[in-house]
Amino acid sequence: MTGGRQCEVGIIGYDGMTGIAVILGQDSSSNETYIQAAGNGWRLPVEILRPAVAESPSLRTSVLDYAHAFLVQSSRTALVNGHSKIEERLARWLLMIHDRSDGDKIYLTHEFLATMLGARRPGVTTALEMLEYRGLVRAKRGEVTIIDRVGLMELTHGAYGEEEQRYFGLATAA
């Protein structure tokens, strides 16, 4: 998407991939990819990936399972963004990032959170303050620390659950 409004449609962690459209036979994706946290990643040219997927049934199954899980997550994100309060959306987003992080600290700005949630920055600041007041997170400039994961899950009122955890091996952790 170029120009106009932006919001997040899905979160990809160390166990996922961008470019699902390419796996499904398209030449490119219509979405942009933002790196939200420091870490390592790999780029694999389409000319290498497509033949590997075609030749390996197990790789094909794995990639298609991931693509399905990502599509479910994206659909759920659209539903939640359309029907949940900003505090619930923020709690869900923080939980999903936490699922894909090595620790409890998440480094980002309020402006970036606003873009990801499709919300205004002042609304994100107020929502973060509410989460902090409840003892669920600790927020300071450029950093949010998860304090009470179970409390965040409860705050989502069902917006975070099995669907968000399905592919990522967390379905039994809640």
Q: Closest by alpha carbon to 116, among 5, 40, 28, 13?
A: 5
**Residue pLDDT tens, the chain, 174 long:** 445 566 667 777 777 888 888 888 888 777 777 776 667 778 888 889 889 999 999 999 999 988 888 888 888 888 888 888 999 999 999 998 898 888 899 998 899 888 888 889 999 999 999 999 999 999 999 999 999 999 999 999 988 887 776 655 544 333
- Predicted pLDDT at 134: 97
123 alpha carbon, distance to own chain's centre: 20
Record the pTM.
0.79
- Structure letter (DSSP) for residue 143: E
The domains found in the chain, sorted by start residue, are 20-80 (no CATH), 85-165 (1.10.10.10)
Q: How far apart are CA 20 and CA 26, in angstroms?
A: 9
Q: How far apart are CA 130 and CA 155, in angstroms?
A: 11
- Predicted pLDDT at 168: 55
Two tokens, residue 90:
């923020």
Two tokens, residue 132:
């902090």
Q: How far apart are CA 106 and CA 136, in angstroms?
A: 14
- Predicted pLDDT at 131: 97
Residue with tokens 């600290």: 105
Q: Count Cβ atoms below 10 Å from residue 62 Cβ, excluding itself.
A: 12
Q: Count Cβ atoms below 10 Å from residue 140 Cβ, excluding itself.
A: 8
